[in-house]
Amino acid sequence: MNEATTRRELIDPKLKDCRWGRNETVGSEVVAEYGFTDGRLIGAGQRGKQKKADYILVYKNQKLAIVEAKAEGREITDGLEQVKSYAEVLNIRFVYSTNGRGIYFFDMKTGRGEMVEKYHLPDDLFVMTFDDVNHKQYEALVEPYQIVKHRPRYYQENAINAAVRAISGGEDRVLLTLATGTGKTTIAFQIAWKLFQARWNRRGDERRPRILFIADRNILIEQAMGDFEPLESEIVRVNGDAIRKKGSIPTNGNIFFSIYQAIAGAPREQPDKPYFMDYPVDFFDLVIIDECHRGGAGNESSWREVLNHFSGAAHLGLTATPKRDDNVDTYEYFGEPLYTYSLRQGIEDGFLTPFKVKRITTTMDRYVFNPSDYVESGEIDESREYTLSDFNRKIYLPEREERMAQIMLEQIDPNQKTIVFCNDEKHAAMVRDAINKHKPVGTLGDHRNYCVRVTATEGKIGDEHLEDFRDNEKQVPTIVTTSRKLSTGVDARNVRFIVLMRGVGSMVEFKQIVGRGTRLYDGKDYFTIVDFYGNDAKFEDPGWDGEPQEVEKKDIEMNVDVEYEPAEVAVGTASLVNEPDPTYDGSPVDIEEEKPQKTVVRLADGKEREIKYTVDTKFYMDGKPVSPQEFLEKLFGQVPDLFIDEEDLRRQWSDPRTREALLLGLAERGFEEQKLQALKQLIDAEDSDVYDVLRYIAYAKETMTRSERAGLVREYYLEQLDDNEPDFVDFVLDTYEREGEGELSLYKLKSLVNLKYHTMRDASEKLGEPSEIVRDYLELQQELYAGTVG
């Protein structure tokens, strides 16, 4: 019997006999076909294969075991390795592998397995799993999730359970490391919910816990308070201005939210006594520190003052960056994370968006003064070579930045939402003005807010622009320029381009910036990083980030009129003041020093030179960069698994249904369609079909352009058609020549018919019934790829 029959007739009854299921044991559940990933985004709205477990055994809101089922005729342990890999990902201790007749049981913790007569009973399996938890841990762990929009994803459950178990078990410091966009505040809420409902607290009595959630930006606090909405009646916002007016700190509540600047402020009459010192050291049971890597946990850091005072509480740190040289203090304070979920994992699981990188260099990335150049004002070191690290810091080049803005507009889709990171506020204004000067003419480009600057200086207006940018229903602002304000805390899901017009100072900041583009959005298969400063190479971290889908290097020959001036602004982070501005949102601010005299230099020729692009594409396979030649060799090695011979390739490609399956198979092996499209440039076949790329690689066949293919069909096939058919076929061929083979998919047929005839009814009058139109559409594609074998 097949697997489905085996499950229905053999496995399901045995699970029921062991009291698994809602009708057998209260609180137990058998979840069949449990999909725990969404499948990696592979392009054209398609996803890779979703990971699914045959059965998950759930009891008291805890996933206790996985059952992997195979058909009766298979070996009992044929599914063991697969189910072990699932258990490792899902943090489930016990697994079963079965063919319906026999059952093999394996313990992931001890690494031991054995044949068993039957499945363990729910209570027995629960005790085996949680044999070392105390009563309060038990109560917190079994507490159901508070489902607001959807049940937590598997990695969120892993993080929640690990933190709840540790905190309720008496751990003082807990760290969770999850990539940006994976829902850390949702995790924090579920942790708080479970502890709150279980009446856990540090004293061990039956009162509900008091929890403090702190961050360094208002936007982070506001977003977190939204996630904590089910506990709204318990929430108190700590506001420095309100404390000053009232003359006392708020204490009547259970869930407190504050930016650091508010709780660490101080009254005028006691500037050395921050507000947090008015709370007893044991007032809070749990302190949650969002983005804890930014404050740092070193002895002199701002976070440390608050954490030291509330030493009686458990401290839960949330961070989006793994342990690296520039955030080591955080990890030294909290210890190794209880749970880690990387950007790479998020992309592979389909919960985060993949990215591409365009590396751009120009012939003006270095400058040495030439005596023929004219120094308009100020002074310049004639013996010095100025490099990227000097631009907009020690040297000011407005014309160069204007040209960079033009190049940027050429490299992005100017109608898609884009964040441009600049060196400081003045640079952000200059780039904004350059973009608005050279923006495309059209619906969006004509809008007065097409490109705006969002920095601390804009205040409320900037915040309004940011809200509009984050609103997926609004198309403008389309491009925002910033310095550092938008590197964190911006939940803008439809960002398609991240542009780096400055060097990034640390690995932590680089990961935060990349995180602005990783959130999922309908129709967004990937986002692109356009990097003018080589940051991606400087901060390569494939173990955490995974590798970009592809990297394009563009070398640009450039010469422009340039004016240089010493940097006006030194960038830093605002230090603590006794009475912080209540409107301050915690963003890093630009600290202006005394401005040196500007130096303006005009190049001798006074003309811009033509820019030439060269593209060097680097591909990534299995998390490692490979050369185009290596990529081709790897693709060649996969050919026997996908098609038998050239005729089989033609047969699969000629039918849009099997063509889609073939492209999906290639994508699952790491050869996404966009990579195959990029290969066209390498074999000088940019006007050809992906089919020709595959024929060239697999069988060394000459490529044909799409126009050549369409021409053969017009010459030998159109005359065989009746009445109005040639007109429609010619229209389809025109579209194919112009747009490519993607226009030949079945789901595009309706739009093609509507474009040509406006309605299906009009089309049917000329071409016949819909079934006939589909038949002719499929026959056309057979003709399009006929005669190319041999």
pLDDT tens profile 551-560: 555 555 554 4
Q: If residue 319 lies in a helix (H) or strand (E), which one and from where to where?
A: strand 314-319
Look up residue 758 and give its two tokens. 């406006």
Q: Which two tokens stand for residue 120?
A: 């363990």
Per the rule left: phi > 0, alpha: psi between -120 and 50, beta: everything else, 612 is beta
User: Does residue 524 contact residue 347 with C-beta atoms inside 8 Å?
Assistant: no
Q: Which residue has the higher pLDDT, 262 or 55?
A: 55
Strand order in the sheet with 52-59: 28-35, 52-59, 62-69, 94-98, 103-107, 112-116
364 or 72, which is more confident: 72
Q: How confident is the model at residue 405 (pLDDT cuts 50, 70, 90)?
A: very high
Cβ pair 439, 450 in contact under 8 A: yes
d(CA 106, CA 65): 10
- pLDDT beyond 50 at 593: no
Statement: residue 432 has pLDDT above 50: yes
Asked if pLDDT for residue 617 goes beyond 60, the answer is no
Q: How confident is the model at residue 594 (pLDDT cuts 50, 70, 90)?
A: very low
∠ CA(216), CA(222), CA(227), 5° rounding? Answer: 115
What mean pLDDT is predicted for residues 96-105? 97
| Rounded average pLDDT over 749-775 | 85
Is the pLDDT at 718 greater than 60? The verdict is: yes
509-522: average pLDDT: 88
Q: Does 16 or 264 have the greater pLDDT score?
A: 16
Coil, helix or strand for 26?
Answer: coil
Mean pLDDT of 695-710: 88
Rounded to whole angstroms, the Cα distance separating 682 from 419 reads: 31
- The pLDDT of residue 701 is 87
φ, ψ for residue 203 (rounded to 5)? -85, -20
What's the mean per-residue pLDDT of the chain?
A: 83
Instruction: Tell me the mean pLDDT in the region 557-564.
Output: 45
Residue among 107, 54, 42 nearest 78 (CA): 54
Peptide bond into 230 cis (omega under 30): no
Mean pLDDT across the stretch 601-625?
46
- Residue 743 to residue 653: CA distance in whole angstroms: 14
Which range has the worst mean pLDDT, 261-275, 293-307, 342-356, 565-579?
A: 565-579
Buried b (16+ CB within 10 A) or exposed e, 423-449: bbbbbbbbbbbbbbebbeeeebbeeeb
Q: In the predicted model, is pLDDT for residue 634 greater than 60?
A: yes
- Check if the beta carbon of residue 189 is closer than 8 Å to that of residue 227: yes
Tell whether the model's pLDDT for residue 269 goes beyond 70. yes
The residue that leads in pLDDT, 92 or 296, is: 92
- C-alpha distances (whole Å) from 466 to each of 7, 153, 523 are 53, 29, 22
Where is average pLDDT lowest: 158-162, 250-254, 358-362? 358-362
pLDDT at residue 143 above 90? yes
> What's the average model confidence in pLDDT over 733-740?
90
Give the pLDDT band of residue 429 (cuts 50, 70, 90).
Answer: very high
**Structure confidence by residue, pLDDT tens digits, 635-694:** 778 777 888 889 999 999 999 999 988 888 888 777 877 778 777 877 788 899 999 988
pLDDT above 50: residue 709: yes
Give 352-379 pLDDT, tens digit per residue: 998 888 888 887 888 777 776 666 666 7
Write the CB contacts of 233 (distance below 8 Å, at least 6 apart in sequence): none
Q: How far apart are CA 405 and CA 395, in angstroms?
A: 18
* Mean pLDDT, residues 37-58: 90
| 712: pLDDT strictly greater than 50 | yes
Return the pLDDT at 208: 95
Please report which confidence band the pLDDT of residue 599 belongs to, taking 50, 70 and 90 as the band edges.
low
| β-bridge mates for residue 236, sequence order | 256
B/e letters for 242-251, b = 16+ CB within 10 Å, e = fewer, are ebeeeeebbe
Region of poorest pLDDT, from 10-24, 101-115, 666-680? 666-680
Give the Cα separation of 738 and 724 in Å (integer). 22
Angle between helices 760-767 and 725-739 (to 10 degrees): 120
Q: Per-residue pLDDT averaged across 473-477, rounded?
A: 93
pLDDT confidence tier of residue 790, bands split at 50, 70 and 90: very low
Q: Is the pTM of this model over 0.85?
A: no
Whole-number pLDDT of residue 298: 46
What average pLDDT score do residues 506-535 get?
A: 87
Confidence of residue 190 (pLDDT cuts 50, 70, 90): very high
Least confident of 123-132, 155-164, 526-535: 526-535
Both tokens of 771, joined, read 């079934």
Q: Report the alpha-carbon distance of residue 97 to residue 124 in Å, rounded.
A: 19
CATH number of 352-564+599-613: 3.40.50.300
Domains 3-129 and 352-564+599-613 share a fold: no
Find the range with the poorest average confidence among 106-110, 574-578, 716-720: 574-578
Percent of the chain with pLDDT over 90: 42
CA 131 – CA 375 distance, rounded (Å):
78
What's residue 598's pLDDT? 45
Model confidence at 601, pLDDT cuts 50, 70, 90, reads very low
**What are the sequence ranges of the domains in the chain?**
3-129, 136-341, 352-564+599-613, 627-699, 706-784
Residue 364: CB atoms within 10 Å? 20
Higher-confidence residue of 602 and 737: namely 737
Which CA distances in Å does 400 have to 363, 403, 570, 730? Answer: 11, 5, 20, 48
Helix (H) or strand (E) segment spanning residue 128: helix 122-129
Position 590 pLDDT exceeds 80: no
Residue 214 has pLDDT above 80, yes or no: yes
The burial of 272, by beta-carbon neighbours within 10 Å (0-12 exposed, 13-18 middle, 19 or more buried), is given as: exposed
Name the burial class of residue 188, with classes exposed (0-12), middle (13-18) and buried (19+) by CB atoms within 10 angstroms of its CB.
buried
171 pLDDT band, cuts 50/70/90, is very high
CATH architecture designation of domain 136-341: 3-Layer(aba) Sandwich (3.40)
Nearest alpha carbon to residue 337 among 350, 320, 358, 362? 320
CA distance 52 to 268: 60
Residue 399: pLDDT band with limits 50, 70, 90: confident
Q: How many CB atoms lie within 10 A of CB 629?
A: 9
Of the candidate CATH numbers 3.90.1570.30, 3.30.365.10, 3.20.20.60, 3.40.190.290, the domain formed by 3-129 belongs to 3.90.1570.30
